[in-house]
Structure 1
Amino acid sequence: MGSLATGRIGPWRTALLLGRVSNLPTVWSNVIAASALAGGGALLSTAVTALAISLMYVGGMYLNDAFDREIDARERPERPIPSGSIAPELVFAVGAALLVIGIVLLAFEREEAGLAGLALGAAIILYNWHHKGNPVAPFVMGLCRALVYVAAGLVVFPDVQFDVLVPAAALLAYVAGLTFTARLENVDRVTSLWPLSLLAAPVIVAAVAGAFSPLSLLIYVMLAAVGWRVATLLRRRAAGDVSQAVALLIAAISLVDALFATTTGVHYAAIACLLCFGLTLVLQRFVPAT
């Protein structure tokens, strides 16, 4: 790690921070849940899909910092680009390359998945290009996660399935609510509570789908605990509380995936998603989630 006195950080730490790699397990759980919802895919194919989406996620995070470099220079000068740890041109190049590689990997798995990857790449670029001050940007971010479900589902089955689309739409709503909350991170206060209602969409969809097994009931309890903790943080509004709430909501994406996986009866997929939740919480202790 570089000297804190100069404000620079080492190259590996820079790469980890730019990619927000602590959140990658939530991408893996997205792929696991979507694959289960689509009927279940081969282990190798699921792993390749998870790798492809992971590359696209990291690429999107790189592009986010590259596009936001001037705003970060004012609001978050410790970020890698404004701190001088890496050149923005290199961040743009790496981010774009990772998106392309991810799309190509999806296309090798199945042509239809590659087309979904192109749509995902376009949504990632659109969000990063114009999200500051854009009232619909949180829904574009939600669309990115929904398209992960679509792409992973298409790797398993060549047609978009209703059983994948409905959970994907619920995940879109959840991530939009999360993103609305994340927008308040720099001001460290909550000015409107209505976006938080979007977070309930996955629970409603899962309940309608009849997710009431012992495992799903455990996940409901875990989601309730997350909701209680987030509400406590947002109500207290001490310094850093909004950031902690956002990080926990990001980790809970894997809980949402686990809940959806229980609706398929494939409990090992749900358990894998639960492990992703725990891993995300551990990794966030070392690499900030936002």
Structure 2
Amino acid sequence: MGDTAGGGSVVTPLHIAVLMGGWSAEREVSLLSGAGVADALESLGHRVTRIDMARDVAARLTEASPDLVFNALHGTPGEDGAVQGLMDLMGLRYTHSGMATSVIAVDKQLTKQVLVPHGIPMPGGRMVRSVELFEGDPLARPYVVKPVNEGSSVGVAIVTASGNYGNPIGRDVAGPWQDFDELLAEPFIRGRELTTAVLGGRAFGVTELRPKAGFYDYDAKYTEGMTEHLYPAPIPDAVARRCESIALEAHRLLGCRGASRADFRWDDDLGVDGLFLLEVNTQPGMTPLSLVPEQARHNGIAYPDLVQMIVDEALHEKVGQ
């Protein structure tokens, strides 16, 4: 097993397959994450096999026969438990969360069912059939509709009283209701976007995300210059501590492994009571613009060392757990 790379210590070379790409809406982001991870692993002396996820992934993994798989996939099927279950059956070690955790955490409604009974504050709301939106609003405006199991703000729409979706929403108006049969409807929480990364039982602080225009959607996340990242977030200490405690507790309750990232909305008119967890990402991005590497860097952890820390944690897990 490799020694933790923090501080540039020597690591034991391994053969690591980096699983990336796939066919989800987040394919391009996954390819960027995977390329960064693979380059970092090679810089540390590991032998790397790059695998672009396809239907023959089991055969590709069998042929590679790696010591470890670094899962750099985002979205389905790499984040929803499918690939995790496959690797469990194959007896492969892999990074990040296991099958059961992935199934729950990728589903925003299931995540609420696990976390809310333990006192984790999350928005209310309910699942709606998309056709219901053409008949009337499921919640008072403003509200948010989103796919229950997509990441990177894919398919999110904010429905306001003066918005251009219509009232009720028009059948022919572009929006997630054209792509998904069911959507999660939640009250819109005014205020600010906050996020906290967790790895190795440690929270890495809080970043505030300020999009230059609109809200923190897919383009704002992955287009350089579209979002300002403020670290440490200019928020009261009590709110920052609450973000970190919720992120750590959600990571624990969901059974996350490796790195996770908790995303929040904070209504700054309400103080600590205005903080709501939106979701927990079990496969957070590892691109140059991604938040986990950025927060790690602010904590003195270089990108290759962060990658090695994730590898080391995976090596200590039992296969199939």
Q: Give the TM-score category using the shorter length.
A: under 0.3
Question: Which structure has greater helix proportion?
Answer: 1
TM-score, normalised by the number of residues in structure 1: 0.28
TM-score, normalised by the number of residues in structure 2: 0.26
Give the greater-gyration-radius structure (CA).
Answer: 2
RCO higher in structure (CA 8 A, sep ≥6) = 1
